[in-house]
Chain A
Amino acid sequence: MTTHLDHEHQLEQRLRRTLAAVAATVHEGPTEETVSVPRLRRRRGLLVGVGVTIAAIPLVAAAVVRFGPEYVDRIPPENPIISGTIDGERYWVVDGRETSDCVGSPSGIELIAEENNLVGQEWNTSVVFFGPPTKDGCAPRGEVAPPAYTYDSDGGVVAGDGMLWMGALHPDVDQVRVTLAGGEPFDAKTFEHEGGTYYVLEVPPGISTFTVEYLVDGEVVEPLDGENDEHVVPAD
């Protein structure tokens, strides 16, 4: 007979095995002779005087996409689609940069917040496009996901004490209705870029919650299971 305590013990053992096995996948990188120049450039100043060169680690993290080895060489970026300021922080929206993994996929739009992208650092930007990403993190090609997927094609970036929220719309979505902290609803301005429709919303400091609804012909599209039209600005 298996008891509750047996189950508890099995779960704990499973957790121990899992964490040890996953941790063991993290190895020391190459020796200092093979450290890449850009990585040293990025780290300069951090460990001055320590006398230890920083070894590179293979970048295979699942959640990190398009945060590749390129480095910020110019701020403001060239040819922004949108330029703005929120809470004193400058930001720009540019055409999503093509990566070698995503050749031929729609590029979407890319948000660059100045506070996260100082010259010499790695780019720390956010890309949005409509539809479920491929396994390589690229925008989908071919079949179009249903309008409800618009709720899965938006997201936010903290900027200063405010937030920038942006999204990519399904072709049938013709209205983006925003309500900031229970105030009067208004429509977000949308814009076209390379065949797609997008919006960027500034959520000012002091707003802790807001809703973004997507409409087709005046009817609100119901969010997908697990998605929500209500959003919370992350607290410090």
Chain B
Amino acid sequence: MTDLELGDSETPVLEETYRELRLPLLRLAFLLTGSRETAEDIVQSAFASAQPRWHRIDDPPAYLRRSVVNLARDGQRQEFRRRRLLRREPEPVTAIPEIDETWALVRQLPATQRAVVVLHYYQDLPLVEIGHLLDRPASTVRSDLRRALTRLRKALP
């Protein structure tokens, strides 16, 4: 049996996973990047990179989440320059002042601090697991989180 045939036989599973996880992954990617278009690209790329090795992936949700987190980090350089060149105030996304105000501040956090905040408070991941995802010691992740919270506390009324 060829790889292609193997791949074909796995396709329904991949399709099912895609349908099930695409939206949650899009939401995670959006929180990490602040851009819906970038989030879409990231999720596309995560599935595209998973496809050839799909039958060897033990835990697809964990694999795809790691992939999304890594791709979001890779994208920081591009986001840096876009923001640098065309500064705009973040647009309200919910029309709820408290939410929009907090979201604007979260978006301004340095990339790693923001990823820690999102993974901890949105994904409910423990710091040790976040450390594995971000390739950082848990103690460093704890410092990242503390710095992020200090920064947010100072900025919020």
Contacts and interface: CB of A to CB of B under 8 A. Distances in A.
B16 to A, nearest CB: 10
Interface string B56-85: 000000000000000000000111111111
A208 B93 CA distance: 36
Contact of B94 (A21, A52, A58, A157): A21
B135 interface: no
B147 interface: no
A19 B106 contact: yes
Given A22-B94, A52-B19, A156 B87 contact: no
A105 interface: no
Contact-residue bracket for chain A: 35 or more
A127 B88 CA distance: 13
B102 interface: yes
Contacts of A51: 11, 15
Contacts of B40: 54, 57
Contact of A66 (B37, B45, B86, B93): B86
B36 interface: yes
A23 B31 contact: yes
- State the majority secondary structure of interface residues on B: helix
B51 A62 contact: no
B34 A63 contact: yes
B8 A62 contact: no
Interface stretch (A6-14, A79-87, A196-204, A212-220): A6-14
A49 to B, nearest CB: 6
A50 B47 contact: yes
Which residue, of B19, B84, B86, has the highest number of chain A Cβ atoms within 10 A?
B86
Contacts of A60: 36, 91, 93
A187 to B, nearest CB: 22
B53 to A, nearest CB: 13
B121 A16 contact: yes
Contacts of A24: 27
B106 A15 contact: yes
B93 to A, nearest CB: 5
Contact of B51 (A49, A64, A67, A158): A49
A47 interface: yes
B5 to A, nearest CB: 12
B39 A26 contact: yes
A25 interface: yes
Given A26-B39, A63-B35, A66-B86, 15 more contacts: A15-B106, A21-B96, A22-B30, A22-B99, A23-B30, A46-B44, A46-B45, A47-B47, A51-B15, A60-B91, A61-B34, A65-B88, A128-B85, A133-B87, A137-B86
Q: Which 3 A-B pairs have the closest CB atoms?
A: A155-B85, A23-B27, A61-B35
Interface of B: 7-8, 11, 14-15, 18-19, 22-23, 26-28, 30-31, 34-40, 44-45, 47-48, 51, 77-91, 93-94, 96, 98-99, 102-103, 106, 117-118, 121-122, 149, 152-153, 156
